[in-house]
Structures are given as structure tokens and as C-alpha cells.
Structure 1
Amino acid sequence: MTELELSGITVRFGGLTALQDVGLAVGPHQVHGVIGPNGAGKTTLFNVACGFVQPDSGHVVRRGERVERLRPRDLPGLGMARTLQGLGLFDRMTVLDNVMVGADHHARSGFLGSLLALPRAGADERALRDRALRVLDDLGVASYADRFPPSLPYPIRKRVALARALVSEPDLLLLDEPASGLSAGEMDELGDLVRALTARMSVLLVEHHMDLVMRVCDEITVLDFGKVIAHGTPDEVRNDPAVLAAYLGEDVH
């Protein structure tokens, strides 16, 4: 059974067709990459998988069950988490508090319990704090737990955003251009981290850094002008004439 399947996805914005009959499947403990030239539809497809965009046709299937009208708020309950290009960290919250936000759905007493200062709420908050610290430590940024995001270098903030997604302990992680703004060495570290994550989850990766994609992905789907033009292993995609033509700006017949 696949972890995530997008089938027959078509998205239109007015007279523009951003995606046309696009499909892909993410297998268990697999990194599935989505690549393509600028304007190919990568971000739109990612937003469909996250529930930010509702497709005009097609459907999203999570572990064999169709998800009707997926919304971002539904992701934790489906065992999914995502990062975004813009990080989305709260500047006036510490790193630790930012990460704890990502795990808040684990707290059984919820927000109301916190307001009422119920005993269960205090235990939940301590458990969330411990989980967040562990994830920050795993990513090598626990020393920044009490700092505020604006005071941190961009690569550190990227790890904090990743920690916020991982703290929910997802089975499926959606990564939107995680390598943007990173140096070559930092990308190598990211690649090692993404591969290590497959021991406990699957990953859907949207990325334009080809070296990273070819290194970490088990399968790759290639988009161009909103359509799938190739799919396969890194070696198969690397040598596909349609992929080469799309990136070189040539016509393919």
C-alpha cells in the first residue's frame, strides 16, 4: 500500500491550467522527488498534497483511503507533516516554543485545558517540551532552544522549521525546497538527514537542486507545463530525452 497517491490531479487558475491529469505515488520508507523547470507546477502539486489547493478533478489517497477535501489542519490526524519554503516561524516565540507548536495536537487536554490550568495540561506540556528538545537535539540545534528565530542564521532556522514538522512524529513528511539558501556542505548534511528519515517515514520532496534530488530520491516525477513528462529512478530520469529537453528549453515531439 502506498503512503500517498495523487491521481488524475487537474488544477486550473482562471484560464490557466497549472496541472493536467498529474499522478504520483509515494511508497513506504521512500523518498519521492518532484522536479521540473520554473513554472512546471511543482508548488501547485505540493499545495494539493498539503490541502492548500483543492484540485478541479482527481483525488488524494492516503494509505488506500480517499481523502475528501483535504485541508492543512487535517495533516496531523493523517500522520502527515510539511515544511514550506517561507519557513513560517514565529519571530516572537523561542525556537523551543516554535517546535512545540508542531506537536500541539498530541496534547490530549488541548488548548482549553491549558487555559484552565488543568493537571493533565501541565503533564502534556512537559511531554511536548521533552519531545521538542529531543528533536532539536537530533538536528543538532538544541543549543538554540531559547533563542528567537530572527537572531539565527538562515540554515539554523531551516532546521528549526524541519524540527517543527518532525516533532509531530509523522509517517509522511512533505518537504518544499528544503535546500534553498543552503551551501553545498549544508546540502550534503541535509541529504544524509533525509535518507536517515526513511527508517521511520516516507518523504515527498519538491526541490530544484538536482544534485540533492538525484542523491536522495528512490523515485522521481518530472513535471513540465503542468504535465508529467517522466517518472522513474534517478538514473532513468537523468537519461530521459524528454527531461533533458525540458531543462534545455527544446521541443519534444
Structure 2
Amino acid sequence: MGTLAQPPDTTGSSTPYEDRSPTARLEMTGISVAFGGIKALTDVSLTVEPGQVHGLIGPNGAGKTTMFNVACGLVRNTEGRITWRGEELRRLRPAQLSKLGIARTLQGVGLFPGLTVLENVMVGAHKHARAGFFSALFAIPTSDKDDARLRERAMTSLAELDADGYAARYPGSLPYPVQKRVALARALVAEPELLLLDEPASGLSEEEMRELGDLISHLSGRMSVLLVEHHMDLVMRVCDQITVLDSGKQIAAGTPAEVQNDPAVTEAYLGDAVDDTTDVSELAGIDGGTQRG
């Protein structure tokens, strides 16, 4: 991933990114989800504070992906409430996220195969477009200026992830780790206040994962991050707070150190009852492989 964690050089450029401190808070309170009478989540709560990296973890089938999908509007919670910027979000839909200042990546890259890398990232910048649909359709000059502006934003986002060299390529011709970078660039180009990351480290090498961790830490200076991840070493390194789920229920919450030393967490991951003498630090070495929750 090269200079993945390095911010773009803004000297003498008109980069759209500005230094800003995040101020918005995401609160998910008493979230329950039922599918056909089966409880996938039961009374789960978490708060992502401004500028915080909040990890959501748990063993296979814990419900973390379901909780993430509730935050994205992909799954409707049957009980509980979601509050963003101090206002409750009712009937949240994925199409609303961009206008709300929220961006997401999913477990798969979700790139459009028929668009170039640059065009894929430009899709994520649509909220910054000034020209309307008909202006673009009929190639009105305003649309040309808008297109140039969006291209600049997209290239800046790609450069931040050291992926601008792939701008003219198509996603299918790129290695999976590079596709992951492009998907992340598409989320970042929207300049979100909250970034939702679903297993961003999947398919990455150890070195690429280290650079991803550096990037996430850097991003927390201008946005909040909700991270679903099964690589415990990454989670323990970059997260300020962690919420742990098991079988759809919240079993622990706190700092990485507090969670790492919680016997309930160790039991959930290792499957055995533990006591205070158990070396729970081995949690940091757990690699969930292809686990999904």
C-alpha cells in the first residue's frame, strides 16, 4: 500500500480536504433485530464519540455485521433508536447516508466493473456536484466545470491512499488489496463526518494491515470511525473504545485494555470458562480468518 497512511501534500494545491475536528456523535441505543421471530440482536447499545475509532467485535455469528447494517440502513431495527447529530434517525436508508455526512465500505469492494477507478471514486463525490442531472445530460458548460471539480476531488482521494496511479484502470484488472483501497477512496471522497468500515483488513497482508491501521488513526483527526473487524491485533491497536457481541448480545464494552482483560470476552472467543489467571492477552493474537458475524 506504499504511502497509504500519509496525508496528501497540500502545498500549492487546491485540495478539497480541510483541517477540521469532528463534532458529531452516533448513538445506537437498545438495538434489537428479529428475522422471522429469531433474535439477531438483543438490546445492544454503543456510542461513537466525535473523533473516536470505535471497534465492534465478536466471534462468528455474534451479530456485529447485523449491527453494522443497522447503522447503514441496510437492516431495520425492530427496537431501539439511532441518534446522529443529536437527532433521531427514523427509517434510515442507505441512500440517505451521504447527505447525513456518513460514508461506508462493505465486506466486498462493491466497485462498478464498467467504470474506471477514477469514475468509481467520482461516484462517491456526487454530493459535491453543483450541476443537476439535466445539466450533465445535455453537456451544459456548468456541467463541464462540475465534472472537472469532481475529478479533482476523486484524484485527491486516490492520492491519499497512494492509488492515483490506477485512475485509468478498471477494477477487474487490479489486485484485491488495490481494489480495497479504491473502495475506501470512494468513501473518503465524500468527506464524511462518520466512516463505517466493515472488515477493511480482509485480504490484506500484514504490512498492508499495518499501514491500514496507521491510516485509520490518521483519519480520526477529521472524522469518527465505526470499525467491524476480526483481526484482533488491528482492533486493539487503533480503537479507542470497543463493543463486544456474542450471540446477538452485548457482553463487554470499554477500552482495548478493559476488553482484553474481560473474562466474558475470552470465554466467547476461546469457548472455555476462564478465571482471573487466564492469559487473556492472547486475544490480541486471534485471527478470525474468514469469520463473519
TM-score, structure 2 length as denominator?
Answer: 0.84
What is the aligned partner in structure 2 of residue 128 from structure 1?
150
Q: Does residue 50 of structure 2 align to residue 48 of structure 1? A: no
Task: State how far apart, in whole Å, the 1-side matches of 2:271 and 2:39 are.
Answer: 20
Task: Describe how 1:10-159 pairs up with structure 2 within 5 A.
Answer: 10-159=32-181
Deviation at 1:108, TM superposition (A): 2.0
8 Å CA contact retained: 1:2, 1:25: no
Deviation at 1:251, TM superposition (A): 5.5
Asked if 1 retains the 8 angstrom alpha-carbon contact of 2:24 and 2:193, the reply is no
Q: AA paired with 2:43?
A: D
Match for residue 286 of structure 2?
Answer: none
Instruction: Kindly tell me the number of residue pairs found equivalent between the two proteins.
Output: 252
Equivalent residue, structure 2, for 1:213: 235
Letter of the 2:185 counterpart: A
Aligned positions of 1:173-252 closer than 5 A: 173-250=195-272
Q: Does 1:166 align with 2:188?
A: yes
Conserved? CA contact 2:53–2:224, under 8 Å: yes
Contact kept in structure 2, 1:11 and 1:17, CA below 8 Å: yes
Q: Which runs of 5+ in 1 are unaligned?
A: none
Structure 2, gaps ≥5 residues long: 1-22, 275-293
Alpha-carbon distance, 1:111 to partner: 2.3
Displacement of 1:116 in angstroms is: 2.1
* 1:2 positional shift: 5.4
- The 2-side partners of 1:149 and 1:71 are apart by 27
- Deviation per residue, 1:215-248 (Å, 9 max, x gap): 0000000000001100000000000000000001
Q: Distance in 2 between matches of 1:242 and 1:177?
A: 23
Residue deviations 1:62-105, cap 9 Å, x none?
A: 02110111100010111000001111001111000000001112
2:72 partner letter: C
Q: Which runs of 4+ in 1 moved over 3 A?
A: none
Query: 1:191-215 CA distances to partner (integer Å, 9 max, x unpaired)?
Result: 0000000110000000000000000
| 8 Å Cα contact 2:116-2:169 kept in structure 1 | yes
- CA–CA distance in 1 between the matches of 2:63 and 2:267? 17
TM-score (norm 1): 0.97
Bigger mean CA offset, 1-10 vs 59-68 = 1-10
SS at match of 2:44: strand
Instruction: Give the helix-richer structure, 1 or 2.
Output: 1
Shift of 1:119: 2.2
Give the aligned residue type for 1:108. Answer: R
RMSD: 1.1
Determine what percentage of the aligned residue pairs are the same residue: 65
Deviations 1:32-76 (A, max 9, x none): 000000100010000000000010011110021101111000101
2:27 alignment partner, SS class? strand
- Per-residue deviation at 1:152? 0.5
Distance 2:104 2:221 in 1: 18
SS at match of 2:179: helix
User: Which stretch of the first structure deviates more once superposed, 33-42 or 112-121?
Assistant: 112-121
Counterpart of 2:121 in structure 1: which amino acid? V
Measure, in 2, the Cα distance between the counterparts of 1:249 and 1:65. 40
CA distance in 2, matches of 1:193, 1:199: 10
